[in-house]
């Protein structure tokens, strides 16, 4: 059932959130907010009602140039700090994020649209854990010593070792689905490795990154180490990628833009890592206990309204339980309560923007032409960027619900004869970000893990990520891995050293 939310049920907005929204935000460069080369502003919306809630500048090339210069100047200062001091700064930042947790959770919820339960538990609490985890790595960066066989000069043995050095100035381009968390997935490891950074948040959701930049200064991190340039991708984003003084681009977003960024970065041999889209399969075998797994399945598909790169959107379900599965899932979906992010009792919130809800609606309309929509399929009759949770069945491989990353609350369910058929259908995709197998049979689970072409495979679970678990995509879902010790490769250059030692 879809309900309107009485305002009395909404979380009371903190005065500091209201004050932050009232500001017109410049870029955050060299430790302060600056408004420079542009008088163009970007309206920032509340997806729950479609109203403008704040404004930022639309940074252009000159602003980006200034931000990169600031990061370049700060590089020797930050790089040369003792690792333990960098670690301490990052711990202080994690404490400040925790102390300002409710403020950040509200800002994210109001701007992105997602549930306050989600922003408190995932965006804020997850970010605190993440920054702490990465702080610990600052003191654990290491190289190796190598025994070498070089035969010259005579009567000498050559000793080799490797050093890991900060890659330099990082340009980070961030999407709108986890604006603060994904910004920190780039800021925290870059800083742990001794890099400085310029962050370009999504034009739809710039607010928490700008607030974070203020907390960075409060944490004692020198000005210029973290800069934030709010702006459009085609202006500020492209200028950052093309800037010759940026050493590394780390991008999270769509495959289409990621491809463009990779090509552009190569012009300057700028290193790059791409975390891109997914069309993630979820396989349910015949032995599962349906009522028991239903809450996990709903989270897999509808967390953040399906606006999660790893969300499950193609479900392959064993034929023997298919009819009951579709009926139970449709029943659970119809019971979801729709409401704004600040209503803690709502299950489904608005999508991020008017443009995005239009795109989702268009894809669902196309899907419905050749397949059956069991539930949902339309925008509810209320203001804001809402879309009903939508279940599509009898869809062929070319149907958008099976083929395209819709990035909304839209899933397809397809019957399968066995695990092998499910794996073949799962792998018949240009994407390979994530997948899951739901079964109590150990052998099936292991076969699925090995056969699925995906950067992450869960068993009887879907979506949880951990700072210590590498995350990234096979195929067109990306290049590189975030999290874990792999991040050290992302944010450092490897230097080989060779010294002849006379015998």
Residues annotated as part of the active site = 275
Which of the residues 6 through 25 are near ligand NAD (CB under 6 A)? Answer: none
Q: Which of 332/363 has CB closer to ligand NAD?
A: 363
Asked if 176 is part of the footprint of ligand NAD (rule: CB under 6 A), the reply reads yes
By the rule CB under 6 A, 229 interacts with ligand NAD: no
Torsion of the alpha carbons at 207, 213, 216 and 217, rounded to the nearest 10 = -130
Is 189 a binder of ligand NAD (CB under 6 A)? no
C-beta of 42 vs 332, nearer to ligand NAD: 42
Query: Per-residue b/e over 233-251, b at no fewer than 16 CB within 10 Å?
Result: bebbbbbbbbbeebbbbbb
Instruction: Tell me the closest approach of the beta carbon of residue 131 to ligand NAD, in angstroms.
Output: 18
In contact, 60 and 237? CB cutoff 8 Å: no
With residue 294 as reference, give the H or E element that holds it.
Answer: helix 290-302
Binding status of residue 238 toward ligand NAD by CB under 6 A: yes
Angle at CA of residue 262, ends 257 and 263, nearest 5°: 100
Distance CA 81, CA 161 (A): 22
Cα-based torsion angle of the residue sequence 80, 84, 85, 88 in order, rounded to the nearest 10 degrees: 150
Q: Residue 63, interface with ligand NAD (CB under 6 A)?
A: no
Number of H helices, E strands in the chain: 17, 23
Asked if 206 interacts with ligand NAD (CB under 6 A), we say no
Q: Is 242 in the site for ligand NAD (CB under 6 A)?
A: no
Give the residue from 76, 61, 78 showing the smallest Cα distance to 27.
61
Q: State yes or no: residue 480 binds ligand NAD (CB under 6 A).
A: no
Among the listed residues 200, 248, 271, 314, the single contact to ligand NAD using CB under 6 A: 200
How far apart are CB 229 and ligand NAD at their closest, in Å?
Answer: 10
Q: Read off the DSSP letter of residue 222.
A: P
Looking at 138-205, list the stretches that DSSP marks H as alpha helix, in order from N- to C-terminal side.
Answer: 179-192
Q: How near is the Cβ of 407 to ligand NAD at its closest, in Å? A: 5
Q: Is 456 in the site for ligand NAD (CB under 6 A)?
A: no
Does 227 participate in binding ligand NAD (rule CB under 6 A)? Answer: no
Residue 173 in the binding site for ligand NAD (CB under 6 A): yes
Pair 217, 223: CB distance under 8 Å: yes
> Which span (102-110, 173-181, 188-196, 321-329) binds ligand NAD, by CB under 6 A?
173-181
Binding mask 393-432 for ligand NAD (x = CB under 6 A): ------------x-x-------------------------
Of 16, 19, 60, 54, whose CA–CA distance to 38 is shortest?
Answer: 60
**Contact call for residue 175 and ligand NAD (CB under 6 A):** yes
Among 94, 202, 227, 399, contact with ligand NAD (rule: CB under 6 A) = 202
Interface residues for ligand NAD in 335-374 (CB under 6 A)? none
Measuring CA to CA, which residue among 306, 298, 318, 286 is closest to residue 421? 318
Give the nearest residue (CB) to ligand NAD.
233
What sign does the dihedral 19-23-25-31 (CA atoms) show?
A: negative
Work out whether 237 is an interface residue with ligand NAD (CB under 6 A): yes
Which residue ranges make up the site for ligand NAD (CB under 6 A)? 173-177, 182, 200, 202-203, 232-234, 237-238, 241, 252-254, 257, 260-261, 275-278, 309, 405, 407, 433, 473, 478
């Amino acid at each position: 059932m879809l309900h309107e939310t009485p305002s009395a049920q909404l979380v009371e907005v903190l005065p500091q959130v209201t004050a932050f929204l009232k500001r017109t935000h410049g870029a955050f460069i060299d430790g302060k907010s600056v408004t420079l080369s542009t008088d163009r502003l970007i309206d920032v919306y509340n997806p729950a009602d479609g109203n403008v809630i704040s404004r930022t500048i639309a940074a252009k090339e000159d602003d980006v140039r200034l931000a990169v210069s600031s990061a370049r100047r700060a590089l020797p200062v930050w790089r040369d700090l003792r690792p333990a001091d960098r670690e301490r700064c990052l711990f202080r930042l994690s404490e400040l994020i925790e102390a300002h947790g409710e403020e950040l959770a509200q800002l994210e919820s109001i701007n992105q649209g997602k549930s306050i339960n989600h922003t408190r538990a995932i965006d804020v609490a997850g970010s605190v854990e993440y920054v702490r985890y990465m702080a610990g790595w600052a003191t654990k960066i290491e190289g190796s010593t190598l025994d070498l066989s070089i035969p010259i000069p005579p009567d000498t043995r050559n000793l080799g070792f490797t050093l890991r050095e900060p890659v330099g100035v990082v340009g980070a381009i961030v999407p709108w689905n986890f604006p603060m968390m994904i910004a920190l997935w780039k800021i925290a490891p870059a800083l742990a490795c001794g890099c400085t950074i310029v962050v370009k948040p999504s034009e739809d959701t710039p607010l928490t990154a700008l607030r974070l930049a203020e907390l960075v200064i409060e944490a004692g991190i020198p000005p210029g180490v973290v800069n934030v340039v709010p702006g459009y991708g085609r202006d500020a984003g492209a200028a950052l990628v093309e800037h010759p003084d940026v050493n590394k681009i780390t991008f999270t977003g769509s495959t289409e833009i990621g491809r463009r960024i990779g090509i552009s970065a190569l012009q300057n041999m700028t290193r790059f890592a791409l975390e891109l889209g997914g069309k993630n399969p979820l396989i349910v075998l015949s032995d599962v206990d349906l009522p028991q797994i239903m809450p996990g399945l709903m989270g897999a598909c509808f967390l953040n309204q399906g606006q999660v790169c790893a969300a499950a959107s193609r479900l392959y379900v064993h034929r023997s339980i298919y009819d009951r599965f579709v009926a139970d899932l449709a029943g659970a979906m119809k019971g979801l309560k729709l409401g704004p992010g600040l209503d803690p009792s709502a299950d489904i919130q608005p999508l991020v923007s008017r443009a995005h809800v239009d795109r989702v609606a268009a894809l669902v309309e196309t899907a419905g032409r050749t397949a059956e929509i069991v539930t949902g399929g339309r925008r509810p009759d209320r203001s804001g960027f809402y879309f009903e949770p939508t279940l599509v069945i009898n869809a062929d491989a070319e149907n958008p619900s099976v083929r395209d990353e819709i990035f909304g609350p839209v899933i397809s369910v397809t019957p399968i004869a066995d695990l092998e058929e499910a794996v073949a259908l799962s792998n018949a995709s240009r994407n390979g970000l994530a997948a899951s197998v739901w079964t109590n049979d150990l052998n099936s689970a292991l076969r699925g893990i090995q056969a699925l072409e995906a950067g992450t495979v869960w068993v009887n679970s879907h979506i949880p990520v951990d700072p210590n678990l590498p995350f990234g995509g096979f195929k067109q879902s990306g290049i590189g891995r975030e999290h874990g010790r792999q991040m050290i490769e992302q944010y450092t250059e490897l230097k080989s050293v060779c010294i002849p030692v006379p015998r």
